[in-house]
Amino acid sequence: MRPFWSPDGHQVWFLDRPAVDAVTAIWGLDATGGEPAVVTDLLGVFSPDARLVAYPFSDGITHIQRTDGEESWVVPSGGRSITFSPDGERIGWQVVSSQNGSYYKRSVELWLANVDGSDPRKVITVTGGGIMGWFPNANRWLVLSSDLSRQSYSLTVLDLDSADELEVARATRLGSASISPRGGWVVFQVTASGDTQRDGLWVVRSDGSAMRKLDVYGSYQWRTEGRLAIVPLELSAQSDNQSHRMVEVEAVTGTVRQLTDPTQLSFRIANGDWAMAPGGEKFVYVSAEDRNLWIIQLP
């Protein structure tokens, strides 16, 4: 189901086919209630404002189409999935130029073009990584790459015009990086490093300063700039009567604040399937109990 929010935060969108005779589509439901309705039957990657959707075809062609259906065009990513810049003016994609054994050793070209497909160019080639996200100014990527000589991974802020690179984090096993709403912070996780003091969630400023390991671990999304919402990994497979909870962590100080109290509000999220609304005032989740979508308002 994988619910997500409309750009204005007024609706919850989700992939569904509610009946045999219904269309498989992105459906929308007003956050205050009502009946779901089809948003679009175009299935692919949406631009941040949801006015465009990109979808690959098996014949090696990637189309971008306006969701109002008025216009479509082909972009030179060769059928590969693309990612839109925050302003919707540019696109990026990845070309695996060599498999070279494992994922960690593969060579990956990172490409950039205007949203209409013009001016395509290779920006950089990395090993064992790719584009983790765009910074809000649409002029920088967060890039993950592996360094075989040092047996580690690094996160780098890459300026798309000057090609200047700034390493902000490095670890043996690093991934799942996410950029804060205004681009001031990056969160990432370190796993299976062989050092329990290193494993966990970390935050770092996008200039590489103020790195901090957090005192809580779990499923995470940015709530607002500098504040993470985390569903702690606490429940076991046998804990059917227990509830999840959500906490907020302040990146600057590491301070943890409880947002939901299991003694007052019980909920269980299925398979980490939840999404924070724009502005961080509420979140939607798929219930592990009834498989329905629920919204919880946050303090």
pLDDT tens profile 13-58: 999 998 888 889 999 999 998 999 999 998 999 999 999 999 986 6
pLDDT tens column, 226-261: 999 999 998 654 555 689 999 999 999 999 999 999
pLDDT tops 70 at residue 157: yes
pLDDT of residue 111: 97
pLDDT above 90: percentage of residues in the chain: 76
Instruction: Tell whether 60 is covered by a domain.
Output: no
CA distance linking residue 123 with residue 143, whole number of Å: 11
**What's the one-letter identity of residue 7?**
P
Total domains in the chain come to 2
Instruction: Tell whether 288 is covered by a domain.
Output: yes
Q: Which long-range contacts (CB under 8 A, 24 or more apart) does 150-156 make?
A: 153/128, 153/129, 155/186, 155/188
Note down the domain range covering 262.
Answer: 217-299
Instruction: Tell whether 141 is covered by a domain.
Output: no
CA distance linking residue 137 with residue 179, whole number of Å: 12
CA distance linking residue 56 with residue 49, whole number of Å: 20
Instruction: Tell whether 5 is covered by a domain.
Output: yes
Which tokens hold the place of 67?
């969701």
pLDDT of residue 101: 64
Instruction: Tell whether 289 is covered by a domain.
Output: yes
pLDDT-derived band of residue 152, with 50, 70 and 90 as boundaries? confident
Torsions phi, psi of 34, nearest 5? 110, -165
How open is the CA angle 148-149-152, to the nearest 5 degrees?
A: 55
Contact 201, 216 (CB under 8 A): yes
User: Residue 201 to residues 77, 248, 265: CA-CA distances in angstroms?
Assistant: 33, 13, 26
Instruction: Tell whether 55 is covered by a domain.
Output: no
Instruction: Tell whether 287 is covered by a domain.
Output: yes
CA distance linking residue 49 with residue 5, whole number of Å: 11
CA distance linking residue 288 with residue 270, whole number of Å: 4
Predicted structure pTM score:
0.92
Instruction: Tell whether 106 is covered by a domain.
Output: no
